[in-house]
A = this chain, B = another copy of it.
Amino acid sequence: VNEDAIVEAIRAVINEYRPRHPERPRIAGAVEGGDDAALWQPSRSHRSAISTDMLVEGVDFTRDLMSLEDAGWRAMAANLSDLAATGARPVLAVVALGLPQASSLEEVVEIYRGLAGCAARYKLAIVGGDLSRADAIALAITVVGEIRPSNVKTRAGGRPGDILAVTGALGAARAGLELARVSIPLEGLEEEALRAFRRPEARIAEGRFFAASRNVRAMMDLSDGLATDVRRLAGASGCGAELSNIPVARSASALSSVRKDDPQRFALCGGEDFELLVAIRPRAFPHLAARYKSHFGRELAPVGVLRAEKGLTWNGEPLELSGWDHFAR
């Protein structure tokens, strides 16, 4: 049973039970996709965004690859990345924590140092939580953010001809995962890679920057790898896409070179970079990219174009690579 089949079955049940006459139907529209943010309207002039994620020890993280503090940080950052993709500003988080019988207070404190450190980095408050016994550490985080109604971005707004761009070079988190497993010298780039894997950043400021622009038509965060996620954005927008030049993180490049892999292929498939993928009105791209660079000191890297014809290509060939499916492995 793969993830898409499960999500499909869940959608069918939810639709079957959906209240026919909700008191006030003010859900502003759930963003497409199983694990993204949903939006609602607490008052006429406001939108709130909400996203939830669960991480389980032994599945989503293991202590031989990262500390519990790293696991807490990464869990929070991954969740905030879903908010970043809507353009929202994070406001608060709640945390449900499942703990094995043998857990010590020190372990709980370590997890919370990661959670609270990441929350402080993005100026949101952890306002509540729940504790339960569990066989392995399970960390379920829900984050809430706010956004002006006119600024909300989804995956679905892209149009043929839009330029696809990413907010940073890809592949470092995947390189970090592999370096955490087996130490490989990378000319001083080990730290960059391990940090990308263990302490990822959520592109909150970048998301808000794009949200404020009418020339950004679609946005999502890259959690499962560009090869998988571009399919989702293009699909939600009713388009196909051509990918060409993938920006590769220096550490990913160095690792690929050591292993004689294709660095672009590595960057295309490596997940959990948490960069944003945006579809931009083509005429507006140069100006927006210049503003992005002066704002953030990094390049907004064009990686391709949306097309009216369905299907994905990479350097002219059909794209058959894919990223991460939690249930396929």
Contacts and interface: CB of A to CB of B under 8 A. Distances in A.
A40 B91 contact: yes
Interface stretch (A22-30, A154-162, A190-198): A22-30
Given A6-B108, A94-B52, A120-B19, A144 B1 contact: no
A233 to B, nearest CB: 17
A90 B51 CA distance: 17
Interface in A34-71: 34-38, 40, 42-43, 45-46, 48, 50-56, 58-60
A1 to B, nearest CB: 5
Contact of A13 (B54, B113, B326): B113
A235 interface: no
Given A103-B1, A108-B6, A116-B16, A326 B52 contact: no
A164 interface: no
- Of the candidates A46, A98, A108, A146, the one having the most CB atoms from chain B within 10 angstroms of its own CB is A98
Contacts of A56: 98, 132-135, 138
Given A19-B120, A112-B10, A51 B128 contact: yes
A182 to B, nearest CB: 23
A51 B127 contact: no
Interface residues of A, number: 83
Nearest to A142: B142
A92 interface: yes
Tally of this chain's copies: 2
A18 B134 contact: no
Contacts of A35: 128-131
A301 interface: no
A59 B134 contact: yes
Nearest to A13: B112
A170 interface: no
A94 B17 contact: no
Nearest to A37: B128
Contact of A42 (B21, B46, B112, B136): B46
Contacts of A52: 94-96, 128-130, 140, 142
A281 interface: no
A17 B116 contact: yes
Given A17-B120, A38-B127, A326-B133, A92 B43 contact: no
Interface string A294-314: 000000000000000000000
12 contacts: A10-B108, A12-B109, A13-B109, A16-B116, A17-B113, A37-B128, A38-B127, A40-B92, A52-B129, A56-B133, A60-B133, A98-B138
Given A19-B125, A48-B144, 8 more contacts: A6-B108, A9-B105, A13-B112, A35-B129, A35-B131, A40-B127, A54-B130, A96-B140
